[in-house]
Each structure stands twice: as structure tokens, then as C-alpha cells.
């Protein structure tokens, strides 16, 4: 719990911190300023302390540097149990000089986080068939376009086969976008039509299957999707999820989708997210590789291949630049 304590002098403020938050409280900042003019020409000097209570024995046992990082990870939305095991490992393994050095500690923690993440999905050489599945509005169609247009710009070929034609205008919109960008788009409403369209583009090195989104809580929806997907052993099924979705909701969603042969997770809308801990939680929790991140609405610019270092950097701000 973070508290803001105000007092007339530093000593009194510190006493109050100890009294209210315990002797191990972590001081985040102290600041003095002059209140208003009613106490004389210069006003009255005030002290403000922002401090955080250590809630349990584990927290109380941490040196200040580690406690600050521990708190930061929790604020980033990393799962408490994962945070505790990471910080515990750092406390036990990191040499004393590292524990004292905030930057070295941060780097060490980053390395440890990368170690516990499953490997990201390698880009397969040769022919790829990628299905994009997920709830409505997360960016499946936009992501398919980004991936296809990137290929076309690089002088390779790609095709989008969409069965997202239930929403009025969805297929028309995609057909128009595809035409403008030089990406062939086929509409196919069931597995047979999809397979036929795939045969027509049999020599195309990248086939993207864009699927409809539904309320994922509807029973039977993933079964319907399963019916749609061609039974190819090499098929990649990428589940697209919006990065700002709540952690518990994401876990529920992934569990629902596990009835499909999922290959990887794509996190979309990183530009609309402030914290990134949930992405880390999901990939670790389900041992499910990440494949791409999308970072805005621009086609094809706003997509990147997911990497572990990128995610850890987003969470720990190692490069101090943020994702932009």
C-alpha cells in the first residue's frame, strides 16, 4: 500500500511513516515545499513523504533495491506468485555488489525473466499457413493485412482467405484494403471453401486465414472454429489478444481456446496498454510462445516479431526508451 504523508518537518514525517506503515516501510520520495502565505512572508515549510508498507515477512526481508523492483513488477501487472519467485531467486543468487547496484539488479532480473519464458515462435522457412483466431475487435483482420502487406513489399507473395463475412461490410472492407495494397483476398465461408481457395493459391508461400470473432463465452464457438480450420499438420494457429485485457480474463480466454491446436499468442494494441506484465504472465503460465506484437493501426508498419528482450524491456524499461 502506498501512502502520502504530510508533516511540518522531516523528523515528524518519518515518525509518522514508521507509526503508520511499520519500521521497514520503503520511502519512495520526500519533497519539501512552502504551503501558503498565511504563515508569514515565505509561507510554512511542509514535508511530503511517499512511502510504501511492507506487507509481510517476505517483503520485510528484502533489501531496499529489491523491494523497489518487487513493487515495480507488481505495478506492471506481473502475477504476484511469479514476482515472489523471481525476487526470491534474485535475493538468493545475486552477489552483494549486484544487490546494491539498481541497474545491475534490473539487468539480472531481466535475464532471469527471459529464462523462465518459453521460446518465442521461430519464423518457419518455406510455406506457412497461419490462422488468426480470437475474440471480436482484437485486430485479427488488421494483423492479417499487416503480415500480408509486409510480404508483398518484400517482393514475396501472400494471400488472405477470410471467413469473417458475417459482420456487414467486413469482407468488402478487407477486399478493398487488399486491392489497394496488392494483396489477393478470397472469401470462404466453410472448410471446403477454404481448402479450395488454398488449392487455388497452392504455390503461395504465405496463406493467412482470417476467422470471424464471436463472444468467446458462447458455448460451442471454438468447436465451430475447429470445424472451419483445415486439418493440416503444418497449420499455425495464432490466438490474437488485446494487450490491455485484464489478466484473469486473458487466462480464461486462452483456456477456452486451448481446445484448438494453438501454436502461439499474438498480443495486439500494445500502443493502448500502459502495463505489460499480463503478456509475460500468459506466456509463462501456459508455456505458450509469443509470435507477434502489434503497436497501432497503421498497415503494415505497426507490427513486430515478438522477442523476449522486447517484452522484458517493456516491463523493466531497461533501455529507458519505452516501445516507441
Contact set with Mg ion (CB under 5 A): 140-141, 164
Of 16-24, 54-62, 201-209, 266-274, which part binds ligand GDP (CB under 6 A)? 266-274
SS3 sequence of the chain? CEEEEEECCHHHHHHHHHHHHCCCCEEEEEEEEECCHHHCCCCCEEEEEEEECCCCHHHHCCCHHHHHHHHHHHHCCCCHHHHHHHHHHHHHHCCHHHHHCHHHHHHHHHHHHHHHCCCCCCCCCCCEEEEEECCCCCCHHHHHHHHHHHHHHCCCCCEEEECCCCCCCHHHHHHHHHHHHCCCEEECCCHHHHHHHHHHCCCCCEEEEECCCCCCCCCCHHHHHHHHCCCCCCCEEEEEEECCCCHHHHHHHHHHHCCCCCCEEEEECHHHCCCCHHHHHHHHHHCCCEEEEECCCCCCCCEEECCHHHHHHHHHCCCCCCCC
Q: Pick one of 302, 306, 312, 313: the residue that binds ligand GDP (CB under 6 A).
A: 302
Shortest distance, position 138 Cβ to Mg ion, whole Å: 9
Shortest distance, position 142 Cβ to ligand GDP, whole Å: 3
Q: Pick one of 190, 297, 307, 319: the residue that binds ligand GDP (CB under 6 A).
A: 297
Decide: is 166 part of the binding site for ligand GDP (CB under 6 A): no
Shortest distance, position 257 Cβ to Mg ion, whole Å: 16
Q: Quick one: 282 or 294, whose CB is closer to ligand GDP?
A: 294
Decide: is 282 part of the binding site for ligand GDP (CB under 6 A): no
Decide: is 273 part of the binding site for ligand GDP (CB under 6 A): no
Shortest distance, position 159 Cβ to ligand GDP, whole Å: 17
Decide: is 296 part of the binding site for ligand GDP (CB under 6 A): yes
179-238 residues near ligand GDP, rule: CB under 6 A: 213
CB 98 within 8 A of CB 108: yes
Q: Pick one of 294, 300, 306, 312: the residue that binds ligand GDP (CB under 6 A).
A: 294
15 binds, among ligand GDP, Mg ion, none (CB under 5 to 8 A by kind): none
Decide: is 141 part of the binding site for ligand GDP (CB under 6 A): yes
Of 23-31, 135-143, 179-187, 310-318, which part binds ligand GDP (CB under 6 A)? 135-143
245 binds, among Mg ion, ligand GDP, none (CB under 5 to 8 A by kind): none
Binding site for ligand GDP (CB under 6 A): 136-142, 213, 268-269, 271-272, 294-297, 302
Amino acid at each position: 500500500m502506498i501512502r502520502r504523508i504530510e508533516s511540518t518537518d522531516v523528523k515528524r514525517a518519518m515518525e509518522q511513516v514508521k507509526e503508520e506503515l511499520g519500521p521497514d516501510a520503503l520511502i519512495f520520495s520526500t519533497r519539501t515545499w512552502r504551503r501558503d502565505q498565511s504563515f508569514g512572508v515565505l509561507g510554512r515549510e511542509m514535508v511530503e513523504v511517499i512511502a510504501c508498507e511492507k506487507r509481510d515477512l517476505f517483503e520485510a526481508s528484502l533489501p531496499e533495491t529489491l523491494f523497489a523492483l518487487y513493487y515495480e513488477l507488481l505495478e506492471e501487472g506481473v502475477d504476484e506468485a511469479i514476482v515472489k519467485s523471481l525476487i526470491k531467486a534474485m535475493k538468493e543468487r545475486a552477489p552483494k555488489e549486484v544487490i546494491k547496484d539498481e541497474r545491475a539488479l534490473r539487468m539480472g532480473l531481466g535475464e532471469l525473466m527471459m529464462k523462465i519464458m518459453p521460446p518465442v515462435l521461430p519464423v518457419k522457412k518455406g510455406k506457412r499457413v497461419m490462422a488468426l483466431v480470437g475474440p471480436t475487435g482484437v485486430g485479427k483482420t488488421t494483423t492479417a493485412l499487416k503480415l500480408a502487406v509486409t510480404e508483398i513489399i518484400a517482393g514475396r507473395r501472400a494471400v488472405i482467405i477470410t471467413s469473417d463475412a458475417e459482420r456487414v461490410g467486413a469482407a468488402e472492407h478487407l477486399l478493398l484494403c487488399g486491392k489497394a495494397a496488392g494483396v489477393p483476398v478470397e472469401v470462404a465461408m466453410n472448410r471446403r471453401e477454404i481448402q479450395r481457395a488454398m488449392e487455388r493459391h497452392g504455390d503461395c508461400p504465405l496463406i493467412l486465414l482470417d476467422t470471424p470473432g464471436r463472444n468467446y463465452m458462447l458455448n460451442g464457438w471454438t468447436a465451430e472454429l475447429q470445424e472451419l480450420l483445415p486439418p493440416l499438420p503444418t497449420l499455425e494457429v495464432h490466438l490474437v489478444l488485446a494487450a490491455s485485457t485484464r489478466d484473469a480474463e486473458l487466462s480464461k480466454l486462452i483456456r477456452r481456446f486451448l481446445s484448438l491446436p494453438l501454436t502461439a499468442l499474438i498480443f495486439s494494441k500494445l500502443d493502448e496498454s500502459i502495463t505489460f506484465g499480463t503478456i509475460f504472465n500468459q506466456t509463462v503460465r501456459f508455456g505458450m510462445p509469443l509470435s507477434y506484437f502489434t503497436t497501432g493501426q497503421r498497415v503494415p508498419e505497426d507490427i513486430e516479431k515478438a522477442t523476449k528482450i522486447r517484452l522484458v524491456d517493456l516491463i523493466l524499461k531497461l533501455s529507458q526508451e519505452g516501445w516507441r
